[in-house]
């Protein structure tokens, strides 16, 4: 999957949040100082070319929506990251962060509970 540049990513984050919208809707969600209308419009056009968004036309105005979901992009992005920084081992990545104490005991236990649930689900499927 192509990578998003900084500006493109910001537009995508808005679209993922609002699900669909016209350029002016997207613009509303930018913090000050807001970029010019045309700046957002151009980025949207690039995102269309790259296949990240598409639009539905109402006469001359276009309502844009994501074609690539935030989940899909997250997945691809994190997989590359884990590949480049943790020799493709998700396990190494998680344990690195556990050791770095970025996550508290409570959080770790919460994660473990979720993972136990997944383990059971997968076993049940056999």
Partner DNA sequence: AATATATAACGAAATGTTTAGTTATGCAAC
Partner DNA sequence: GTTGCATAACTAAACATTTCGTTATATATT
Cα gap 38→40, rounded to integer Å:
5
In angstroms, give the least distance from the CB of 123 to DNA.
Answer: 44
Q: Is the dihedral of CA 111, 84, 78, 7 positive or negative?
A: positive
* Residue 39 binds to DNA (criterion: CB under 7 A): yes
19 binds, among DNA, its own copies, none (CB under 5 to 8 A by kind): none
φ, ψ (nearest 5 deg) of residue 88: 65, 20
Cα gap 115→108, rounded to integer Å:
10
* Residue 100 binds to its own copies (criterion: CB under 8 A): yes
Residue 36 tokens, joined:
């010019």
Residue (of 84, 115, 83) closest to 98 by Cα position = 115
Q: Under rule CB under 8 A, which residues in 59-88 are in contact with its own copies?
A: 70-71, 73-75, 77-79, 81, 84-86
Applying CB under 8 A, the residues found at the interface with its own copies are 9, 13, 70-71, 73-75, 77-79, 81, 84-86, 90-91, 93-103, 105, 107-112, 114-116, 118-119, 122-123
Applying CB under 7 A, the residues found at the interface with DNA are 5-8, 22-24, 35-39, 41-43, 45-46, 59-62
């Amino acid at each position: 999957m192509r990578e998003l540049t900084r500006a493109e990513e910001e537009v995508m984050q808005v679209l993922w949040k609002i699900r669909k919208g016209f350029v002016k809707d997207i613009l509303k969600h930018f913090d000050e100082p807001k970029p010019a209308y045309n700046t957002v419009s151009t980025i949207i056009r690039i995102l269309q070319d790259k296949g990240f968004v598409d639009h539905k036309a109402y006469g001359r105005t276009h309502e844009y929506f994501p074609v690539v979901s935030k989940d899909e992009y997250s997945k691809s992005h994190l997989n590359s990251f884990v590949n480049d920084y943790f020799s493709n081992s998700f396990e190494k990545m998680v344990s690195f962060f556990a050791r770095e104490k970025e996550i508290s005991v409570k959080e770790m236990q919460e994660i473990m509970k979720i993972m136990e649930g997944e383990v059971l689900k997968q076993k049940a499927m056999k």
